[in-house]
């Protein structure tokens, strides 16, 4: 008893000393800042005026300012209202919506698909399937026999013959999960061979000039077939039977002998910034955060989600995302072959289907339900996970997204970085030897203008660490060191920056209002669960997934830039900041509920199967020699009598 008593006393007196020292340091820091205040305020005023000339008069009364996020939310509301009006409720309407949007007849058995979707009470809006057509269009330029052979020769294939499924070489369990999805619809499907990528990483990096020429060819063919089939009666109305499956010989064109960034860059359109950006050769150097105003931004917030996710539009991601720095594995091809997978970079040519992780019920990714009503959730942001994102090392970890994110949520590190910066105003002049004396692996708030009406407000900046301390919790559960250590809680080169906390169940996370979601080695498999949780997902990713055409940023979730320069302003907008503005709790609650309610309608397991069903019908048509004259036209024949 005595012992533990003195231990408590010891901790207390330590706390008092610690507090004294901390407050003294802070007082000195504040005094220093104060002497600098006038020029900084003046500079901030200029930045502000150049950003919002029309709002400049509001500069002195920032609380009256309409926040840019209010505009983004308003636009998103309109986008969703427009989308929902397009819902179709019978096959005639659905087939016509298809013809209008896709420029050809729906694939054969479209009526079977429609009936299946309707029997599952699906929301049927043609736009929700746009993703499929982005993925499949280039394949129209490849001969059907070539697609068939390439698909069939892959090591992991699910074959359908006479409505029965066979799995080839099912070494990896993931293909079993796709098999399980397909089982639900096998009796409706045509003969086809589907090749699946069972790796985390996407595989196909076809150079953009090649893809562009394929797309042009595909569109020309579409036009030609539109001229041909003005007579619906000439249309081929079902799929051909295929011979029994035998694996044809196919030379493996996959390799890992090049860097993922050079592959990515080659697949970006010629007019995107990545094609002309310098290649970062020295990934051991100090990362630069000179990316304050991303091209996709609206006053610093993500306005164009497609560009925000694209490495082609954000070439700095080559040095600020683990997938480009050192993926855990790389096995890529530059040939267009039909390969199905759960996620990809926007430059990749893999064909997306729902990821197995969303199908299985692993506690780690989809556990729990939304126990908490909004008002009982804690007013804060929460993240906990492993230090993945690729293979980080002693000299590269500062460039990894999860490390950056967790550091930005750590008030001690933010404070240290602010202090270090006040001593060394120009990081450009640092040599790399000094670099590593500076712990900083993230952009500071004053490296981009403050958004919420009070740019450069030094009091607000000074308060940031305290604000973070009371509103944000993020930590790792495993440091994933390389080379590996025996203890997941220890990694010599990151130990002084991160402390490991125990893993917690998904539904404990749902007790917090804001749930940021950050890429790991590839897409984050938690995303669907977060959308369903009734908390507000704040999403940053470079990965595309099957659900992309179904989710509207700022209506169903909050988008975040991959460098996280917008992180603090996003969080402060929703959670509020004393003396600057109130919390936008109502906005947060509404987006969280809209996301959850929509996910319960269009991201159900039924919806995954319905999506896969549509992909298979389209793909089987692409593989058929008669593909240009194949289609579903029953509705036209009936109405023509």
Ligand X SMILES: *[C@@H]1O[C@H](CO)[C@@H](O)[C@H](O)[C@H]1NC(C)=O
* Contacts to ligand X by CB under 6 A: 89-90, 92-93, 304, 306-307, 410, 412-413, 475, 496-499
Q: Which helix (H) or strand (E) holds 559?
A: strand 558-559
Our CB check for ligand X shows the closer of 311 and 620 to be 311
| Cα distances (Å, whole numbers) of residue 360 to 171, 521, 533 | 17, 19, 17
Q: Provide the minimum distance between the beta carbon of 413 and ligand X in the complex, in angstroms, as a whole number.
A: 5
Our CB check for ligand X shows the closer of 304 and 485 to be 304
Name the closest residue to ligand X (Cβ): 499
Q: Provide the minimum distance between the beta carbon of 188 and ligand X in the complex, in angstroms, as a whole number.
A: 22
CB-based contact 152:248 (threshold 8 Å):
yes
Our CB check for ligand X shows the closer of 618 and 635 to be 635
What tokens were used for 432?
A: 């790399």
Our CB check for ligand X shows the closer of 153 and 410 to be 410
Q: Provide the minimum distance between the beta carbon of 478 and ligand X in the complex, in angstroms, as a whole number.
A: 12
Our CB check for ligand X shows the closer of 413 and 522 to be 413
Q: Is 82 exposed, middle or buried (0-12, 13-18, 19+ CB in 10 A)?
A: exposed
CB-based contact 402:532 (threshold 8 Å):
no
Phi-psi category of 368—alpha, beta or left, where left has phi over 0 and alpha has psi -120 to 50?
left
Q: Provide the minimum distance between the beta carbon of 547 and ligand X in the complex, in angstroms, as a whole number.
A: 17
**HEC assignment per residue over 204-258:** ECCCHHHHHHHHHHHHHHHHHHHHHCCCHHHCECCCCCCCCCCCCCCCCCCECCC
What tokens were used for 548?
A: 């992309």
Our CB check for ligand X shows the closer of 167 and 215 to be 215
Q: Provide the minimum distance between the beta carbon of 90 and ligand X in the complex, in angstroms, as a whole number.
A: 4
Our CB check for ligand X shows the closer of 312 and 351 to be 312
Q: Provide the minimum distance between the beta carbon of 370 and ligand X in the complex, in angstroms, as a whole number.
A: 26
Our CB check for ligand X shows the closer of 168 and 304 to be 304
CB-based contact 587:567 (threshold 8 Å):
no
Q: Provide the minimum distance between the beta carbon of 130 and ligand X in the complex, in angstroms, as a whole number.
A: 13
Q: Provide the minimum distance between the beta carbon of 208 and ligand X in the complex, in angstroms, as a whole number.
A: 14
Among 231, 210, 529, 226, which residue's Cα sits nearest to residue 370? 529
Strand order in the sheet with 192-195: 164-168, 157-161, 192-195
Q: Provide the minimum distance between the beta carbon of 412 and ligand X in the complex, in angstroms, as a whole number.
A: 4
Our CB check for ligand X shows the closer of 47 and 123 to be 123
Among 35, 55, 25, which residue's Cα sits nearest to residue 455? 55
Our CB check for ligand X shows the closer of 432 and 499 to be 499
Q: Provide the minimum distance between the beta carbon of 496 and ligand X in the complex, in angstroms, as a whole number.
A: 6
d(CA 2, CA 7): 9
d(CA 223, CA 225): 5
* Residue entry with tokens 């109405």: 639
Phi-psi category of 456—alpha, beta or left, where left has phi over 0 and alpha has psi -120 to 50?
left
């Amino acid at each position: 008893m005595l012992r533990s008593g003195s231990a408590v006393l010891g901790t207390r007196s330590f706390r008092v000393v610690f507090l004294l020292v901390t407050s003294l340091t802070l007082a000195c820091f504040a005094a220093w800042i104060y002497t600098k205040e006038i020029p900084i305020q003046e500079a901030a005023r200029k930045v502000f005026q150049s950003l919002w000339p029309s709002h400049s008069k509001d500069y002195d009364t920032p609380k009256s300012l309409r926040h840019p996020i209010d505009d983004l939310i308003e636009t998103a509301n309109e986008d969703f209202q427009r989308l929902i009006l397009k819902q179709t409720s019978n096959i005639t309407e659905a087939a016509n919506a298809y013809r209008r949007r896709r420029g050809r007849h729906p694939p054969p058995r479209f009526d079977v698909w429609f009936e299946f979707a309707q029997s599952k009470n699906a929301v049927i809006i043609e736009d929700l399937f746009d993703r499929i057509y982005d993925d499949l269009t280039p394949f129209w330029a490849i001969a059907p026999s070539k697609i068939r052979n390439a698909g069939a020769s892959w090591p992991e294939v699910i074959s359908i013959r006479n409505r029965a499924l066979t799995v080839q070489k099912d070494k990896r369990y993931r293909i079993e999960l796709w098999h399980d999805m397909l089982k639900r619809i096998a009796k409706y499907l045509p003969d086809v061979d589907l090749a699946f990528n069972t790796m985390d990483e996407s595989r196909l990096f076809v150079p953009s000039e090649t893809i562009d020429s394929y797309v042009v060819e595909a569109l020309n063919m579409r036009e030609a077939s539109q001229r041909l089939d003005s007579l619906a009666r000439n249309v081929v109305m079902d799929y051909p039977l295929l011979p029994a499956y035998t694996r044809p010989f196919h030379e493996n064109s996959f390799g890992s002998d090049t860097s993922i960034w050079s592959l990515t860059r080659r697949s970006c359109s010629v007019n995107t910034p990545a094609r002309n950006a310098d290649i970062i050769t020295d990934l051991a150097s100090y990362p630069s955060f000179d990316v304050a105003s991303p091209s996709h931004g609206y006053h610093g917030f993500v306005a164009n989600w497609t560009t925000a996710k694209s490495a082609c539009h954000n070439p700095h991601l080559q040095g600020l995302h683990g997938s480009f720095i050192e993926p855990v594995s790389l096995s890529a091809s530059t040939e267009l072959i039909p390969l199905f997978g759960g996620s990809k970079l926007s430059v990749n040519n893999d064909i997306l289907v729902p990821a197995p992780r969303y199908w299985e019920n692993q506690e780690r990714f989809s556990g729990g339900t939304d126990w908490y009503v909004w008002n009982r959730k804690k007013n804060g942001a929460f993240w906990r996970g492993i230090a993945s994102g690729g293979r980080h090392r002693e000299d590269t970890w500062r460039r990894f997204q999860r490390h950056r994110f967790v550091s930005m949520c750590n008030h001690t590190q933010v404070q240290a970085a602010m202090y270090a910066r006040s001593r060394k105003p120009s990081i450009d002049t640092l040599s790399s030897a000094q670099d590593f004396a500076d712990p900083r692996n993230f952009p500071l708030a004053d490296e981009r203008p403050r958004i919420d009406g009070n740019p450069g407000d030094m009091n607000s900046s000074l308060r940031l660490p305290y604000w973070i301390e009371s509103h944000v919790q993020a930590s790792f559960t495993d440091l994933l060191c390389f080379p590996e250590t025996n203890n997941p809680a220890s990694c010599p080169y990151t130990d002084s920056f991160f402390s490991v906390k125990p893993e917690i169940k998904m539904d404990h996370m749902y007790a917090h209002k804001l749930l940021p979601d950050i890429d790991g080695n590839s897409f984050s498999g938690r995303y669907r669960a977060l959308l369903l949780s009734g908390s507000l997902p704040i999403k940053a990713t470079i990965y595309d997934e099957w659900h992309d055409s179904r989710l509207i940023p700022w209506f169903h979730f909050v988008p975040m830039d991959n460098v996280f320069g917008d992180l603090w302003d996003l969080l402060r907008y929703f959670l509020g900041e004393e003396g600057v503005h109130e919390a936008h709790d109502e906005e947060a609650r509404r987006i969280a509920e809209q996301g959850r309610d929509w996910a319960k309608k269009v991201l159900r397991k039924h919806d995954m199967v319905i999506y896969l069903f549509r992909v298979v019908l389209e793909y089987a048509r692409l593989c058929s020699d008669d593909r240009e004259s194949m289609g579903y036209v029953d509705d036209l024949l009936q109405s023509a009598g």
